[in-house]
Amino acid sequence: MSHTENPPSHSSPSGPVLIPDGIKIYNVLNQFLIRWANEAPRYVPMSMEDMSSLPVEQGIFFFEPLDGILVIRSTKDFEKFLVKLATGKKAGRDYQKKGIFLEMTVLFWHLLVSQVWRLDTRILKPAMLKASVPLDWPDRKPDSACTVFIKDFPLEIRLWVHLTPQEIHHWKKFTHPQ
């Protein structure tokens, strides 16, 4: 993306706020997955639209240091792989009840905020979590995105910032308690 499509920062009372590009997101994800799952993702420089269906999706709407939406999505097989990593056993029928994909998303969010914005999420306004779908997303390209493979499983991260009041309302409108 050019600088006109993705401004490098957003002003806040404490100064400019960096918007991480896809490579920065990848670097944080790489650090996270090596620590959390002992797995190293492979960066894929491909268009997100070329990806197959990624039905397992978690979204986080955050208010600080700027308004934004972070979406992480992958396949059901990736979620089963995470359950097996965590438990040492093949994922059973109730694998989604373990919440491992949600846990991964939240923990990655904490590290992203810490690494990119040098902030502690415990002192920020609470973020809103939800199992999202593409219809929940802002109707525009993300400001930043990253696609990786972990083993043979695709994982995609999308980040939108500078949300309009309509985008915020749309996201909140379809948020249900988990």
d(CA 6, CA 46): 18
Which domains occur in the chain, in start order? Answer: 15-76+104-173 (3.40.1550)
In angstroms, rounded to a whole number, what is the distance separating the alpha carbons of residues 83 and 98? 8
**Over the stretch 97-126, which tens digit does the pLDDT of each residue have?**
668 999 999 999 999 999 999 999 889 999
DSSP 127: P
User: String of b and e for 115-134 (b: at least 16 CB within 10 Å)?
Assistant: bbbeeebeeeeebebbbbee
Looking at residue 50, what is its pLDDT?
A: 61
The tens digit of pLDDT for each residue in 3-41 reads: 334 444 444 445 577 899 999 999 999 999 999 999 999
Choose the weakest-confidence range: 8-17, 51-60, 67-76, 145-154: 8-17
- pLDDT at residue 54 is higher than 80: yes
State residue 8's pLDDT score.
42
Q: What is the pLDDT of residue 53?
A: 82
pLDDT attached to residue 14: 54
Enter the DSSP assignment of 93.
Answer: T
What confidence tier does 51 reach under pLDDT thresholds 50, 70, 90? low
Q: Considering the entire predicted model, what is its pTM?
A: 0.85
